[in-house]
């Protein structure tokens, strides 16, 4: 079984993500324990809500260093929604510094006629790193579920793993670098494609554990 630490910092319902991981054969543990994060085979950082409260909660629980250490250790790491955004240097949504793991900023969608902000609902992914293990068996340009007003803008475009187009704006919807993958959409709400992504992540964890 793959032991996965799901980081709890009071930002969102973690149980739906855990259920998807359990269905894929993992053993997820919702935790804010440094020891649990260190000992886990992989780490998932979910989240919904606003950037500044998220960073404040992480700092109040002394979770910044354990997250940075987990990513630096090489173990598989998956960020979801707000858990993607806080990996960056900062956000136009607030003033708090982010984790600074991925250089770049979180930006708000530019208003334009007919554009709904936030983007809520199903939209198609366009893969920029099509051979990424988590994308396997998702099909070409799968529909996934988004709820967001802000998107990540990495300094290095090579970390962009997928994009999404909302109105006339095409923005980063997922990033990948080494052992780190993070997505703006909600896999746990994205039906077959989302559950397949979680299953792919668990398979990746299992492969690393058995090596």
Euclidean distance between CA atoms 190 and 142, whole angstroms? 10
Contact present, 160 and 181 (Cβ < 8 Å): no
Q: Find out whether 194 and 188 touch, Cβ atoms under 8 Å.
A: yes
Candidate list 57, 148, 166, 186, residue with the active-site label:
186
Q: Which of 81, 128, 148, 166 is catalytic?
A: 81
Query: 180: Cβ–Cβ under 8 A, 6 or more apart, which residues?
Result: 71, 77, 79, 87, 101, 102
34 as an active site residue: the answer is no
81 is catalytic: yes
Residue 176, helix vs strand vs coil: strand
**What is each CA distance from 178 to 47, 71, 94, in whole angstroms?**
22, 9, 28
Task: With H, G, I as helix, E, B as strand and everything else as coil, classify residue 169.
Answer: strand
C-alpha–C-alpha distance, residues 192 and 10, integer Å: 27
Q: Is residue 186 flagged as an active site residue?
A: yes
For residue 98, which phi and psi values (nearest 5 degrees)? -85, -165
Name the residues annotated as catalytic. 81, 186, 188
């Amino acid at each position: 079984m793959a032991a996965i630490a799901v980081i709890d910092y009071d930002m969102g319902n973690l149980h739906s993500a855990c259920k998807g991981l359990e269905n894929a054969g993992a053993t997820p543990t919702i935790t804010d324990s440094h020891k649990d994060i260190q000992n886990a085979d992989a780490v998932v950082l979910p989240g919904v809500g606003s950037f500044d409260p998220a960073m404040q909660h992480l700092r109040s629980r002394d979770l910044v260093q354990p997250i940075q250490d987990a990513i630096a250790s090489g173990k598989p790491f998956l960020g979801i929604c707000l858990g993607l955004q806080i990996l960056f240097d900062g956000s136009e949504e607030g003033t708090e510094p982010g984790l600074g793991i991925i250089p770049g900023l979180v930006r708000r969608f530019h208003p334009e006629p007919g554009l709904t902000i936030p983007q809520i609902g199903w939209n198609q992914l366009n893969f920029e790193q099509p051979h990424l293990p988590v994308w396997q068996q998702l099909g070409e340009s799968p529909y996934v579920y988004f709820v967001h007003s802000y998107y990540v803008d990495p300094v290095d475009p090579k970390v962009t793993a997928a994009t999404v187009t909302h109105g006339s704006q095409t923005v980063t919807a997922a990033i990948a670098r080494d052992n780190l993958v993070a997505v703006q959409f909600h896999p746990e709400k994205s039906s077959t494609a989302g559950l397949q992504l979680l299953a792919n992540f668990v398979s990746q964890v299992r492969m690393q554990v058995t090596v």
